Structure 1
Amino acid sequence: MELKLEVIVLPVSDVDIAKEFYVDTLGFRLDADFPIDEGYRIVQATPPGSACSVIFGEGLSALPVGSARGLHLVVTDIERAVKELAGRGVDIDGPFHDETGAFHHADGTHRVPGVAPGRPSYGTFARFADPDGNEWFLQEVTLRAPGR
């Protein structure tokens, strides 16, 4: 059985501000913008190269605005990606790695500035948030296990 992650719903306060951030600032592809009726609007956008999209709008989520945490976008060159996003006006923290050499701690502790020693795949991160505080990470992945 195949299971494909295709959509993540983001809780946002202002659909147009979120659309501007994801489409204009981050460069996500705008797939749909359906203003169905008063209080119900669906916007779908997809990161370049991704099969998974984000959906935000009105009447789509019962989660508190800005409560999405730990969303990851994979890049092959984190230094270049950080520079590009910063150049687009994104307030981004990184690159950094965890002092354990593994995944990063959720609370931001144990972070060491700079790329991971030896620059192993999965070891270096950067962090930013959308205008509502939904938290995103970049993760550098250059080599995946066979079959992945």
Structure 2
Amino acid sequence: MNRVGLVAVVVRDYDEAIAFYTDALGFELREDTPLGEGKRWVVVAPPGSGASAGTAILLARAVDARQESRVGDQTGGRVGLFLYTDDFAAEYARMLGAGVLFEEPPRHEPYGTVAVFRDLYGNRWDLLQPTTPA
């Protein structure tokens, strides 16, 4: 069986990224292991997704000018990350209360209820409750 285990998101600073993903998005900090020379292996994931069940996010600190130029724009301005929820209204309200900035009000599409938000660096995400369960 093959599956996507981690998706890397390039960040400016480990600690501020951990704070955003855990406080604003409600993710769990799964791992924070020092690797030496200021590098760390930092993994966050939605709560309850289980260590082997879902895809998690590897927070990868930019280490040079080229990587720093991609912080917040890893997908050329497109939505590149999709956060699924079983209760759109509750999660949308919780995220608004935590200071997450949404680009638009929720809308209903054939594939589900969705609203675009940005993470602390500007990467675009969909908060999505699919019409059919994922």
TM-score normalised by L of structure 2: 0.77
RMSD: 2.3
Q: Which residue of 2 aligns with 1:52?
A: 55
Q: Is the contact between residue 70 and residue 135 of structure 1 (CA under 8 Å) also seen in structure 2?
A: yes
| Greater strand content | 2
| Greater helix content | 2
Residues 60 and 72 of structure 1, relative CA distance in 2, 3 Å threshold: farther
Give the distance between the partners of 1:48 and 1:134, measured in 2 at CA. 21
Q: Which residue of 2 aligns with 1:134?
A: 123
Further displaced range: 85-94 or 5-14 = 85-94
Q: Is the contact between residue 34 and residue 41 of structure 1 (CA under 8 Å) also seen in structure 2?
A: yes
Give the 4+ runs in structure 1 shifted more than 2 A: 57-63
Q: Is the contact between residue 112 and residue 128 of structure 2 (CA under 8 Å) also seen in structure 1?
A: yes
**What is the aligned length?**
122
Q: Report the alpha carbon displacement of residue 33 of structure 1 after superposing the two structures with TM.
A: 0.8
Q: Which residue of 2 aligns with 1:18?
A: 17
Match of 1:95 among 106, 116, 130: 106
Give the distance between the partners of 1:60 and 1:140, measured in 2 at CA. 35
TM-score normalised by L of structure 1: 0.71
Q: Report the alpha carbon displacement of residue 80 of structure 1 after superposing the two structures with TM.
A: 2.1
Among all aligned residue pairs of Structure 1 and Structure 2, give the percentage whose two residues are the same amino acid: 35
Q: Which residue of 2 aligns with 1:65?
A: 71
